[in-house]
Amino acid sequence: MSTRFERKHTEHSGTSRRSEHTQQRRAPENAPAAANTTDPANEAPQGERLQKYLAHAGVASRRHAEELIQAGAVTVNGRVIRELGTRVDPARDEVRVHGKRVQPATEFLYVLLNKPRDTMSTVSDPEGRRTVLDLLPEEWRRQRIYPVGRLDWDTEGLLLLTNDGDLALHLTHPRYALPKEYHALVMGDPPAAVLERLAQGIQLPGENRRTAPARVWVERRQGDATWIGVELHEGRNRQVRRMLDVVEYPALLLRRVRVGPVRLGLLRVGDYRQLTPQEVAALRRASEGGALGTAGAEQGQQGQRGQQGRSRTVYGTHDE
């Protein structure tokens, strides 16, 4: 009896070992590594988050990279990835966006463009209209540079472009609210009551809340028209134009002259230049919540105010 039981037990044990061996043999030996979507317990996360990797590679800002992932436009080792928590190892994993392999940016590029009117602030345009990238050298376009935020089709002025996804995210995220300064040409001479109204906030048609407090001043006179300066700390669609429409002083021309600590200066329309290391460092500090004020934005920038050295009334304040 005991011999028969021992024989059966031995046969069962052998079957179990054969089964385990078979399961091990079935595991593919050369299959590509799957993207790591979960982290094992008690182990540090491995690799880099996919959206951060795409931003570092200059594909898009991190926010846009998240949209690409959720839309199914990104594959890792041939698999479509839609989970934002996915991590990749740049040394092992093959990442593609719309079928094109992603290569990490070798170096970051930071460009200031004086965008002309009638130009799209996009990388491409399905209707074939001119884009800001059409104005830049080919070697810069090959580094996958893209606009940081947008300027309307009919607005000119300062536009930043980069392939540094982290910085682009900080510059465009509402949490950081970098001030942006615009100069608008309007007919006539807006009275103080109109400027004060613009500074206090405007109820825009079709919106539930008023615009945030702004800083508004008269920049200079031009014949029968007036250039108004407006500093915003938010970025709604066509906001300056819509605000001026409400107070019945529509913008004839609109130009952005400053983003955070960086000013347009004397750069001609359609021209561009690389940011200086000091400007890049100032943008980083400002976008990370560092000290920033109008005075700081003007440091090292000479002759940029329309009436520099002359007193003027500024309507509205903003807590820095």
What CA–CA distance (Å, rounded) separates 243 from 174? 19
Identify whether residues 169 and 279 lie together within a single domain: yes
Identify whether residues 74 and 120 lie together within a single domain: no
Identify whether residues 234 and 164 lie together within a single domain: no
What CA–CA distance (Å, rounded) separates 141 from 119? 16
Contact in structure between 33 and 88 (CB atoms under 8 Å): no
48: left (phi over 0), alpha (psi -120 to 50) or beta: beta
Range with lowest mean pLDDT among 37-41, 72-76, 188-192, 293-297: 293-297
Give 227-251 pLDDT, tens digit per residue. Answer: 999 999 988 889 999 999 999 999 9
192, part of any domain: yes
The number of domains in the chain is: 3
Q: Is the pLDDT of residue 311 over 70?
A: no
Q: Is the pLDDT of residue 298 over 80?
A: no
Domain residues for 224?
179-259
What CA–CA distance (Å, rounded) separates 199 from 189? 16
Query: Which candidate, 54, 43, 44, places its Cα nearest to that of 81?
Result: 54
Last residue of a domain, one of 230, 259, 288: 259
6, part of any domain: no
Contact in structure between 160 and 259 (CB atoms under 8 Å): yes
pTM strictly above 0.85? no
Fill in the DSSP letter of residue 133. G
pLDDT confidence of 302, banded at 50, 70, 90?
A: very low
35, part of any domain: no
292, part of any domain: yes
What CA–CA distance (Å, rounded) separates 9 from 22? 20
Q: Residues of the chain with pLDDT > 90: what percent?
A: 52
Mean pLDDT in residue range 195-204: 96
5, part of any domain: no
Last residue of a domain, one of 58, 83, 101: 101
pLDDT value, residue 75? 94
The CATH number given to whatever domain includes residue 153 is: 3.30.70.580
CA separation, residue 181 to residues 162, 271, 282, 314 (Å): 20, 19, 17, 13
What CA–CA distance (Å, rounded) separates 110 from 163? 7
Contact in structure between 25 and 32 (CB atoms under 8 Å): no
What CA–CA distance (Å, rounded) separates 244 from 184? 9
Identify whether residues 142 and 280 lie together within a single domain: yes
7, part of any domain: no
Beta bridge pairs of residue 161: 111, 147
Identify whether residues 156 and 270 lie together within a single domain: yes
Give 39-63 pLDDT, tens digit per residue. Answer: 444 455 678 889 888 877 778 777 7
What CA–CA distance (Å, rounded) separates 260 from 162? 16
Question: What's at 311, amino acid-wise?
Answer: S
The CATH number given to whatever domain includes residue 219 is: 3.30.70.1560
| 223: helix, strand or coil | coil
In degrees, to the nearest 5, what angle opens at C-alpha 157 toward C-alphas 311 and 253?
75
**Catalytic positions:** 152
Helix 277-287 to helix 165-172 angle (10° resolution) is: 50
pLDDT value, residue 235? 85
Give 249-271 pLDDT, tens digit per residue. Answer: 999 999 999 999 999 999 999 99
Identify whether residues 76 and 120 lie together within a single domain: no
Extract the tokens encoding 20.
């385990």
Identify whether residues 89 and 235 lie together within a single domain: no
Helix 165-172 to helix 62-70 angle (10° resolution) is: 100
Tokens 């039981």 -> residue: 5
Identify whether residues 135 and 207 lie together within a single domain: no
